[in-house]
Structures are given as C-alpha cells and as structure tokens.
Structure 1
Amino acid sequence: MNKSKQEHKELTYLCGFGNEHETEALPDALPKGQFSPQKVKYGLYAEQFNSTAFTAPRDKNRRTWTYRIRPSIAMGDFTPIDNGLICTAPITEVAAPPNVMRWDALPMPSEPTDFIDGLTTIAANGDANTQVGIGIHVYCANTDMDKRFFYNADGELLIVPQQGQLLAYTELGKLLVKPGEILVIPRGIKFKIKLPEGNARGYICENYGAPLELPERGPVGANGYANERDFEYPVAWFEDIDDKFELVAKFAGNLFRANLDHSPLDVVAWVGNSAPYKYDLAKFNTINTVSYDHPDPSIFTVLTSPSGTAGTANVDFVIFPPRWMVAEDTFRPPYYHRNIMSEFMGLIEGVYDAKEKGFEPGGMSLHNCMTPHGPEADVFEAASNAKLEPKRYENTLAFMFESRYVIAPTKFALETPAKQNDYLDCWQGLKKFYTGQP
C-alpha cells in the first residue's frame, strides 16, 4: 500500500502558544467526549504523548492524544550507530576555558549530507541524564531526509535557521520555516527535514530542562514581547505508506537506529498542547528605553526554560532584532559587563551593533560566566562620540542562548579552523582615557 492523505493542499496552521488544539485530517477522526474509546473510528489506535510528567501542574502540563494508523511500538529494536560530531552534556573531553571565543560560519558539506548527519555540537552544559542544561549545535545540510526519521529523547529542539528554508514533516503535521523564524520540536516527537532550497544552515539549542515557555511580562503589563496568537502549530496531516524506513533516536547522549516497515507520520488526528510550533521573530514586540541607559538583554527574551531558581533561567532565547534606539546621554551599544549567566550568540543576518567586524552571519561567539566582554575598541570610540539622535537599527538579527550554567565548548569547537584565534584582538585597541580630572 502506498497512499497519502492531505486535507489541506496548502500549509495552514493553528495559532496560540500552549493552547490545547484539536485537528483532524479525516472527518470525525477525533473521539467525542473522551480520549480513549474502546474502538476509535477508521480503525485507528489511540496513543498519548507526554512531554511533562503526568502530575505536572495544569498550567505546566503538556500532553497530546494522537490517533494513528499504528502505535509507535510497531518497530524493530534499536542498535547503536556512530555519533558523528554530536556530543551531549556533560562535556568532559576537554576543560572549558574562561576565554572569549568566536567562530566563523561552518562551511556547507561537499558530500550529500542530511539534517541529522549535518549536526555538529559546538558546546553544552548541565547533564542530559538529569534533565538540566542545554546542548548547542550547528546544522549544515544539502540533502533531504527521505526514508529517515529522527527523534530526540534527551531534550526539545529549538531550531534557528540562518540560511535556507526547512520543511519539517512531523508526526503532528508539517511546518515550513525560513530564516527569521524559529521551529521548536518537543522532546520525543518524530520528524524529518526536507530542504526546499537545496542547502540549509542554522543553529539548534537542545533544551534538556523544563520545556520552553513565554516569559512573564512583569511591569510591562498585558502586551509586548512575543504574543501567544503569533505561534503557529501544524494541522493534522498523515501518510499511510508501507515501505522500509529508518528511525534514528538520540537517547542518553548516543545515537541509535531502528527499522520500520511503515512511515511513522501516520497520525490522522490529534488533540493537546504538546506539539511542534513555529514563530516569526519579526512579530516580536521589542521593548526599549525612551529615556536613558541601555536596558538589560532580558527585555528581548522570546522564550525561556526556567530553572529551580526564580529569575535564573536554564536557558533564555533572546533576540536583537531591527529596532529604534533613542536613549539620551547614553552609551548605546551593550555596556562592558561580567555576569553570572553564560552567553552564546549567533547572527542570522546583517551586522550586530557591538561587533561590527568579524562576526558574520552563520558565525557564533561564547562569553562564559564572569568572563568580561563588551563592544570592540572601534565601536566604543564611535559610540562615545556619536551624535545622539533617534537611530533605526536595520538589516540585523542576532540572538543569544543565555544560561545560568557554564557553557563548555567541545573539542571540535576548540580545534576547528573556523575558530577565530585572534578574537581577543578586537579589544586590544582600547585606550586609556583617564585624565584624573572630571
């Protein structure tokens, strides 16, 4: 048998962050009034998917009921496969140095490489087995995942495309994601990635900790930051294909493969609030000062994974989008600082205002806990003497994965030719301006 069913010829989405959505690709496939009737219509199986504990508080609980052609256990045994350049926390192969670090964009592969084979771990922190911390990866791919599927048991995946669109086929439907948007796939959801533009590169935050959620707005009030209505979820879509497929799993830091005799994308209907979603970063409502001083980057937080300490995140996903700067009598770029959080930055497009040279789209930097950093020397002098008038930052989109835990680079990251061993030089031109006079 080889057939597929799609009710919606064009990609359409359900909206609302964390909402309990319901969607069906065949009429009346969803049971009415209960989740697990004795017999499901169309001869489907009911299977619950939980990405939090059963007893998590209602406002934190994430689960989805799926109605599928075969249950997920209809599969072969897993066997280990090579991890390639994928590493998982804790990183113990090399000591984590306190140095500032920066990398050029990793090159596109010359051989056929799909999304999974194109993963390279740059850094990580915490411990995946205790569900604390994050892994940070880069993907560089030029080939579709065809009869190959993947799921990650270690953490949810926050995918940040930098070059090339991604068409994600997931158990719960399809999502088309382009640079300037993000894709989040819950821990354990099976998916494959196709590349509509042939090549793709981007960043991934593998979140071992609490699922990402919207940050509280606090005194900002009812509006601002990312709005729930702008998050998009897939509608139900399925395929009923009997063939030979491979399922790759990341489990306890290692990769395994299992054989399937059918496509796992066989969910005909689903209802719940644990599902893949995407978000257009251009819809972020940026908050900024209209008086003086440079606000803390927390005002740019799109999503957060909270830790056990209030206000101190397992990871924050922060963006620096196009925006107005109007602060008076203020050094406008990010100030020099040392802080308890560790900061991994990437650049999707344009120029980042504190690093005008050497930080290219697709590149990345790491400034760890208590490691000093700030604007390069030329930026400091220019900003200190600039005429202060309203300025629009255009053609820029940078982001940061900020974590309470030290981010340890991998051996690959410390040894790759993409690492800029002269990064510290951008601060060597800092002059002594002290005069002893006010």
Structure 2
Amino acid sequence: MPDHYMHGFGNEFETEALPGALPQGQNSPQRCPYGLYAEQLSGSPFTAPRSANERSWLYRIRPSVKHTGRFARISVRNWKTAPHIDDHGLPLGQLRWGPQPIPSESLTFVTGMRTMTTAGDVNTQTGMAAHLYHVTEDMTDDYFYNADGELLIAPQMGGLDIATELGLIAIGPGEIAVIPRGMKFKVGQSDGPSRGYVCENYGAKFTLPERGPIGANCLANRRDFKSPVAWYEEKETPCRLTVKWCGGFHRTEIGHSPLDVVAWHGNYAPYKYDLRSFAPVGAILFDHPDPSIFTVLTAPSGEAGVANVDFVIFPERWLVAEHSFRPPWYHVNIMSEFMGLIYGQYDAKAHGFLPGGVSLHNCMLPHGPDKEAFDKASFGELKPHKLTDSLAFMFETRYPQHVTEYGAKLPTLQSDYIDCWRGLEKNFDPKRREWTGP
C-alpha cells in the first residue's frame, strides 16, 4: 500500500494515475483522454447548497453500469439493519461485553461483520448501526459497496488494506477510515487477522464539528485527514460485486475489477485519520467538561446540536483540574452511547472493560465510574497526571440502540456488569458537611 495521500477534510482534490488523464477545462468532454468514461458520483442532491454539495468526477475504464449485471439476493447472516428489533428476551439494562476471539473460519470484511446494535430507520436515512468485524480472508476478487450509509472503520487488532475506487488506504489500530456511501471497495489484511469496530451511518455524512468558543484550533484539524491518490486495478478475471441496499444484500458476477478509476477530482472521497493527531482540550482549573469536547466527527440531524451520530474519542491527555472529580461523572443521558476500547484502560472503569470489548448505555439509563474508580478519584492526590496508553471511543446517537440477537446471546456478555456499582454505599450524614470518606 502507498504511503502518499492528499491532506485535508472535504477538499476539492484532483489526482491522476496516468499523466493527462484528467480532462482540462470541463468535466465531460466529447472524448476523454485514454478512451476513459466520465462519471459523476454524488453523495448529496445536485441542488444542495454549494457548501454542502458532495460530488466527484471519475474517469474510468468502464462506466459503473458495466460493473453490475443481473443481481441475485444473498444472505449475510449477522449484518443487520434498522429498523431491527429482535425478540431475544434480553431485559433493559446497562450492558457490557468482553472482547470476541477472532474465529478460525474464513471471513472477509463483509461476511465477518457482526451487528451489535441498530438505531433509527435506514429507509428514511436516519440512525446508525454499530458492528464488530473479524477479517481472516482477503477480498481478492470480491468487491462491495453500501448504498445504506457510509462506514467508519476502526481497527482494534491487526491492520487493514482498503482498496477503493479512488485509491488505496492502509489503517491500523489507532486510526480510522471512512468509506462514503455508494463507493466500491475491497478489504485485505495487512499483517494477519484483524478485528475492530464499524459505525454504519445512515444519515447525513460525517463532518467536523463546530468549535464554538474553542476557536480556530484544536480537536481534529482538517490537514490531518488524508485521502488517497488515484490508483486503478486493470484486471480481466471473474469477479463478484455485492451491494447492500435497504438492509438487503445483492450480488452480481462481472468479468473484471470495478476499481478502474484512472483519475478523479472532487470532494466526495474516502479518507483516513490518525486518532493520535487529535488535539484534546480540557479544564485547566476545575471541573470536568462535557465529553462533547472529544468529538472527532459528527453526522448532523435536522435539529441543531443534536447529532444523528457523533464519533467521540477519549485519548491520551493530561488531567490537571483542581478540587474536581476528574473521571466522567455519573450521568443520565438522552443520547445512547455505544463504547469500545482500542487499547489501554478507560479511566472510569478499573476492571472488566477490555480492549476489543463493548459497553452500551442506552437512552436514559444511568452510568458512570465503578466503585474503585470513584474512590481513587475522590481521595487520591490531585497532582497533574497524564493518562497514557489509552484510547476509547463512543458512537453516540440521538436514537435508542436495539441490541441484536447476536449481541444478546454472545457468551462474552457480562451478566455481572451491574455489580461494578454495588459498592457505592450511602455516605450521607446531615451532621457532617465535610466528607472525608466512609
């Protein structure tokens, strides 16, 4: 995989794999260079405002109509789509799962997808699904595109080589890739079997959050996002293309690779981002700010400040707040939080939340630090402390997240998760204002 990318988020890029492959002065000339076909890929309606318009012009060996034949319905058993409510009998509650072992069977990125939760309705392009993936086999002659939404991919173990229509992307743990809705791609292993997390965003595409009073700098900066340069695969062998559309899967046989874009220009493109380049901000005197200050990407809804889904991370950072409870405080939230751990230890949980694991705190279900984390934060010396070797994330959505049957019946579901708060005893004493401990 190449290590050269174009920098910037949402930029108007232009790139060519052959000199002079990009037409000059117009998008669809009568005859394209090298006998290519001009094709536009649109991620927004044509009439969207200029600032929100998403489209790229592709100059390809064959138009996409030649990459689809007669489709046949297929089953991808463990990939579910909202609305999807299983009658599995799992009662309401705060939930946590341990990491899943990577299976020994052959699984591609598509067949190895395991849906944990769904939210919203794909038919109205609202909501999301949260998945785990396992990859033990490369998609050598298999290709895929998702008409239901864009895919945010976060490896937790092992790297991925992602070949897309617009170029090549390599990612490993601590990085993410975002593949836009409708873009063809295939996935291979870069260093052996891989597992990780996927957010399938049915709604408006991910964008950078507004910084408000933070100003022009910090959080995720545009220049740290990377889109691939043009690359094409000229392969005349039997291949298969699978399409996900409104929750169904459809496959067609073709006699060539669909990754045949020789040049492209526009702003609708895949990208990668190293989460370690996120510049966190926080309290430098007292109190713990809202976790929204850790938002990397947001998919807005029609209501200002209420996201279809936010992608939030909890990275390495200094804790310096005085006379403050530094971990995330106890809270009850209208948003639903699907959380994963890439590596290290999350500061609000002393035990049980492991890399590759998952927690789910749904709409209006209380949660917060376990007993050990509470005691440590309440009575420890508040000198400056750096959280190191830790990276957790959250898919947070305005919609309730429904657990799938796969998730409900996983053997790694921790039936004793609720017990992590058991030791939080009553400390109230109306005769003693200064509390020094039990």
The interval holding the TM-score normalised by the smaller chain is: over 0.9
Indicate the percent of aligned positions where both proteins have the same amino acid.
Answer: 56
Q: Secondary structure at the match of 2:413?
A: coil
1:248-285 C-alpha deviation (Å, 9 max, x unpaired): 11111011111111101100000000111000001101
- Answering whether residue 106 of structure 2 is matched by residue 109 of structure 1, we say no
Equivalence for 2:73: 80
**C-alpha distance in 1, partners of 2:49/2:208?**
16
Equivalence for 2:436: none
RMSD: 1.0
Q: Secondary structure at the match of 2:52?
A: coil
Equivalence for 1:48: 40
- The 8 Å contact of residues 314 and 392 in structure 2, kept in 1 or not, is answered as yes
**C-alpha distance in 1, partners of 2:418/2:13?**
49
**C-alpha distance in 1, partners of 2:236/2:326?**
59
**C-alpha distance in 2, partners of 1:333/1:92?**
34
- Cα offset for 1:10? 3.7
- Cα offset for 1:69? 0.3
Equivalence for 1:385: 379
Equivalence for 1:17: 9
Give the TM-score of the pair, scaled to structure 2. 0.97
State the AA in 2 paired with 1:280.
Answer: D
- The 8 Å contact of residues 103 and 418 in structure 1, kept in 2 or not, is answered as yes
- Answering whether residue 408 of structure 2 is matched by residue 429 of structure 1, we say no
Give the counterpart of 1:357 among 340, 344, 351.
351
Matches within 5 A, 1:399-410: 399-410=393-404
- Cα offset for 1:194? 0.7
**C-alpha distance in 2, partners of 1:259/1:175?**
25
Q: How many residue pairs align between the two structures?
A: 430
**C-alpha distance in 2, partners of 1:194/1:187?**
20
Q: Secondary structure at the match of 2:236?
A: strand
- The 8 Å contact of residues 2 and 168 in structure 2, kept in 1 or not, is answered as no
Give the counterpart of 1:276 among 266, 270, 286.
270
Q: Secondary structure at the match of 1:129?
A: helix
State the AA in 1 paired with 2:95.
Answer: M
Equivalence for 1:139: 133
Q: Secondary structure at the match of 2:392?
A: strand
- Cα offset for 1:11? 3.0
Equivalence for 2:25: 33
Matches within 5 A, 1:25-424: 25-74=17-66, 75-94=68-87, 97-424=91-418
- The 8 Å contact of residues 347 and 363 in structure 1, kept in 2 or not, is answered as yes
| Runs of at least 4 residues off by over 4 Å | none
Q: Secondary structure at the match of 2:64?
A: coil
- Cα offset for 1:81? 0.6
Q: Secondary structure at the match of 2:310?
A: strand
Gaps of 5+ in 2: 434-438
- Cα offset for 1:97? 4.7
**C-alpha distance in 2, partners of 1:71/1:370?**
49
- The 8 Å contact of residues 96 and 408 in structure 1, kept in 2 or not, is answered as no
Q: Secondary structure at the match of 1:126?
A: strand
Q: Secondary structure at the match of 2:408?
A: helix
Equivalence for 1:4: none
Q: Secondary structure at the match of 1:400?
A: strand
- The 8 Å contact of residues 120 and 128 in structure 2, kept in 1 or not, is answered as yes
**C-alpha distance in 2, partners of 1:92/1:384?**
40
Q: Secondary structure at the match of 1:354?
A: coil
- Cα offset for 1:96? 7.8
